[in-house]
Amino acid sequence: MYFQQFYLTCLAHASYMLGSEGVACVVDPQRDVNLYLEEAEARGLKIQHIIETHLHADFVSGHVELAARTGAKIYLGAATPSPIPHAAVHDGDEVQLGRVKLRFLETPGHTVESISIVVTDLDRGDKPWAVLTGDTLFIGDVGRPDLSGDKTPQELAAMLYDSLHQKLLPLGDDVEVYPAHGAGSLCGKQMRPEKQSTIGKEKELNYAVRAASKEEFVRLLTAEMPERPTYFAQDAELNRIGAIPLEFLLPMEALTPEQVLEGQRAGAAVLDTRPAMQFGSGHVPGAINIPLGGQFAGSAGTLVKLDSDIIIVAEEQAAVEESRMRLARVGFESVGGYLDGGMLRWAEENRPAAQIMQISAGELSRSLAEEPGSIQIVDVRRKPEWDQGHIPGALHKPLDKAAGMLGDLDRTKPIVVHCKGGYRSAIACSLIQRAGFENVTNLIGGLDAWQSLGSPVEATNSAAKS
Ligand SMILES: [Fe+2]
């Protein structure tokens, strides 16, 4: 049997190709599908089956384009209300490719239509070898149960408990587990960094699987759920009806600085994907900074409206193309242009540029000691991170609740923004500056740098610790 995991770090997304005797199956494909076509050709496989474990909410799937380009059949869980031509699979249905048998399990919980795929490699024996769990069971976690329009998180969590205990755990401790997401995904909250596991390991290490009762499981899953990004519902709908092929997207135009400003005045978002330091040293006023070197696509989907017209500013042409592709993977289809020649061209034309100042943890500590209360420290991490420990006197403005971020900030006082390591704070600095705040500074290295100096942090509801 041929088996390959394709891991897309930007979205913490795993898709899979399985093959045997010249036939292949792709599970949960990403939007740009050339990698599967190239791999199948290199392996002498013909893609005949495409399976979606559920209607993904955090990325746009390539199932429809891949089917159009290969003639393969699409399989969806029977509870999927999709108008695209597909086979609706029920519990126990099977597909055989060569010496590999795939058996479907209906495993609702993360979503109502979620399925898992039990893989038996007949060359290894007649017992299941692995299970592709989609977003039902992750490594260290399970899928979030709050993405349904008509079921409560509690109802979905209860279904997820039954799916785990009645369908997945009985498969056996040795069965390997391959989920659709890894650590950092917005579909769960505390995944481990490994890319594969076993049922036995998850029984031992996964907090949700270890829950003592169904009630406890529901309570754990529905406590402190991460914010539901606004683009999730739109992506799930795009996947339900099938996204257009990438080649049909708008071509990008090379724009002069004047055209960038015109576009911006007409409502386009200028999205600068360079590293925070470069952005800080000079950028198009009003630009949003979401650097490519992090969880770029999910951050963009969370903070920028999917139907926005977007103009990209990047370091070089390859980064322009990369930015556009990563945006398309989460459903941005109106990336109309990019600043031709980047910020160098901007500078050559003597266009005014905005800056974000940077401060080291040591400098911040000294400034606070000299003039206590002179700086507003804005911590943009999530609530569980904040609760574990934060800089005394800081304001908590989590980036995933950006809309409410700016309400009570004082425009007359300097603002220093931080997160854990500097990625989210770079984004937040640009958003705060864009909203008209003039004195915005990024804490280099975030709370990690602050703590490495031994500077004080305090936990919520407890005394300060260092
Ligand atoms: Fe999902």
Model confidence pLDDT, tens digit, residues 217-264:
999 999 877 778 889 999 999 999 999 999 898 889 999 999 999 999
If phi over 0 gives left and psi between -120 and 50 gives alpha, with beta otherwise, what is residue 350? left
Give 294's DSSP letter.
S
Confidence check: pLDDT of 465 > 50 = no
Q: How far is the CA of 59 from the centre of ligand 1 (A)?
A: 9
Q: What are phi and psi of 107, to 5 degrees?
A: -130, 70
Quote the Cα angle for 154-157-163, to 5°: 150
Dist. CA 373–CA 394, nearest whole Å:
10
**Range with the lowest mean pLDDT among 79-93, 123-137, 154-168, 404-418?**
404-418
Contact 188, 138 (CB under 8 A): yes
Closest CA to 12 of 231, 181, 226: 181
What dihedral angle (degrees, nearest 10) is formed by the CA atoms of 21, 103, 168, 130?
0
Dist. CA 43–CA 140, nearest whole Å:
33
Residues 6+ apart with CB under 8 A from 198: 173, 174, 175, 176, 177
The CA 232 to ligand 1 mean position distance, Å, reads: 9
C-alpha–C-alpha distance, residues 242 and 363, integer Å: 52
Residue percentage of the chain with pLDDT more than 70 = 98
Question: What is the tens place of the pLDDT at every residue in 300-351?
Answer: 999 999 999 999 999 999 999 999 999 999 999 999 899 999 999 999 999 9
User: Are 48 and 35 in contact, with CB atoms under 8 Å apart?
Assistant: no
CA of 200 to the centre of ligand 1 (A): 23
Compute, in angstroms, the gap from residue 185 CA to the centroid of ligand 1: 9
Taking only the tens place, the pLDDT of each residue in 358-398 is 999 999 999 988 988 889 999 999 888 899 999 999 999 99
* Residue-by-residue DSSP string for 349-390: TT---B--EEE-HHHHHHHHHHSTTSSEEEE-S-HHHHHH-B
How far, in Å, from the CA of 236 to the mean position of ligand 1? 9
Q: How far is the CA of 442 from the centre of ligand 1 (A)?
A: 33
Of the candidates 348, 344, 312, the one whose C-alpha atom is nearest the C-alpha of residue 328 is: 312
Average pLDDT over residues 46-71: 97
Distance of alpha carbon 63 from alpha carbon 74, whole angstroms:
7
Backbone conformation region of residue 251, classed left if phi is above 0, alpha if psi is from -120 to 50, else beta: beta
- Gap between the Cα atoms of 402 and 409, Å rounded: 13
Query: Mean pLDDT over residues 189-196, rounded?
Result: 90
| Domains of the chain as residue ranges with CATH | 2-239 (3.60.15.10), 249-348 (3.40.250.10), 357-465 (3.40.250.10)
Instruction: Report pLDDT digits (tens) over 270-288.
Output: 999 999 999 999 999 999 9
Give the residue numbers marked as catalytic: 419
Residue 463 in this model has a pLDDT that exceeds 50: no
Mean pLDDT calculated for residue range 436-448? 94
Which pair of tokens denotes residue 386?
A: 């904040």
**Cα 188 to averaged position of ligand 1 atoms, centre (Å):** 9
For residue 11, what are its two tokens? 């979205």
Q: How far is the CA of 408 from the centre of ligand 1 (A)?
A: 34
- The CA distance from 213 to 451, in Å, is 38
Q: Mean pLDDT of all residues in the chain?
A: 93
CA of residue 70 to ligand 1 center, whole Å: 25
Nearest to 91 by CA among 62, 65, 113, 60: 113
